[in-house]
Structures are given as C-alpha cells and as structure tokens.
C-alpha cells in the first residue's frame, strides 16, 4: 500500500491493523475512535499538531517491510 497525506485512517487500518502501532507511536491515540476512520492522515495530523510527512514516511516504511 502506498500511503499519502490523503490516505484515510480507516483505509489504513482495514489494510493492516498493525499500522495502528505506528499511528499511536506518533501521538495519534484516537485510532479506535469512529470519527478517525473518516479522517485523512493530513487532517488527523493537523488536529494533533503533527507533521504529516513524518507520519506518511513511517507508514510507508512499515508497509514496505510488511509486504
């Protein structure tokens, strides 16, 4: 899976729930919240004051190893 800042959190979790550890480790502890399922990475990062590029890079590294 190629992750971008426009990738929906819900799509990530449906693809591989293991990526939740990356999101939570980045400071997004709300991945289980129903509202987060319809947010993009960029939107979620804005709410949490995070750099979306760092999160996207970490997720792409995760998916590169997991596949």
Contact in structure between 39 and 9 (CB atoms under 8 Å): yes
pLDDT at 37: 86
4 located within any domain: no
Q: Which of 62, 64, 66 is nearest to 26 (CA)?
A: 62
| Residues paired with 40 in a beta bridge | 8
What's the CA angle centered on 66, arms 58 and 15, to 5 degrees?
A: 85
Residue 2 lies in a domain: no
Domain count along the chain: 1
Distance CA 4, CA 58 (A): 11
43 inside domain: yes
**Considering the entire predicted model, what is its pTM?**
0.88
**What pLDDT digit, counting tens, does each position of 1-57 carry?**
899 999 999 999 999 999 999 999 988 887 888 888 899 999 999 988 999 999 999
62 within 8 A of 22, measured Cβ to Cβ: yes
């Amino acid at each position: 899976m190629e992750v971008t800042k426009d990738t929906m959190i819900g799509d990530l979790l449906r693809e591989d729930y293991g990526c939740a550890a990356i999101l939570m480790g980045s400071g997004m502890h709300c991945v289980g919240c129903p509202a987060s399922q319809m947010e993009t990475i960029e939107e979620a990062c804005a709410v949490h004051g995070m750099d979306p590029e760092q999160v996207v890079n970490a997720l792409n590294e995760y998916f590169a190893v997991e596949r």
